[in-house]
Amino acid sequence: MAANSRTLEIKVISAENLQLDRKPIKKNASVTVRTDTNSQFRTTDMDTEGGAYPRWNETLVLDLPTHSKSITVEVQCKTSSSVRTIGTATIPASDFVGGYVPEGYLHFLSYRLRDHKGERNGIINISVSMEAQKMYAYASSTTWSNSTMGFPATGNKSFGSGVVTGVPVWYGVYQKDY
């Protein structure tokens, strides 16, 4: 991970009241999270059981560039013919970074989804934390962070490579790079 981006851990929890053509969807909703520079994106698995109220509880990890101002969350539904976008929400970085809340705080956030016409179409529930720190986590090597615990890690911190000391952090993630 380069020094000018931060690790963002987003757990896509659930969504509510998703509709296509004014009818609740039946199944196969999934969520894609993107940075505003479009440099990265990750997608969850499809939910097959929840219908218009899907539950994923899936954690996605992104590297968010330092100058990034927001991320977008897009909910899609795979129908028999195609993949259609149900709605998107734009999440300003200020909602989970800065302010008086300390780094690494687990923010539970919810947003209104709007479809391509700008009309409301459901709600998305997520949790976001800026650094993947749990227990004896390593400190981030980014330039501006000031985390207070752990031992400095050397080199790259993208999970799966790099050196960490202490108890490895649970990610529970798998990436889907399309």
Chain residues in the site for another protein (CB under 8 A) = 24, 49-52, 55, 89-92, 95, 99-102, 105-112, 114, 123, 135
Task: Specify the residue, 3 or 101, whose C-beta has the smaller distance to another protein.
Answer: 101
CB of 178 to another protein, least distance (A): 27
Give CA–CA dist 15/30, Å, rounded. Answer: 10
- Cβ-based nearer residue to another protein, 63 or 128: 128
Least separation in angstroms between residue 22's CB and another protein is 14
Distance in Å, CB of 127 to another protein, minimum: 9
Question: Strands 120-129 and 70-78: what pairing?
Answer: unpaired
Hey, what are 54's tokens? 């899907």
Judged by beta carbon, residue 4 or residue 144, the one nearer another protein is 144
Alpha-carbon gap, residue 1 to 48, rounded angstroms: 34
Within 10 angstroms of residue 171's Cβ, the number of other Cβ atoms is 15
Contact status, residue 171 vs residue 32, Cβ threshold 8 Å: no
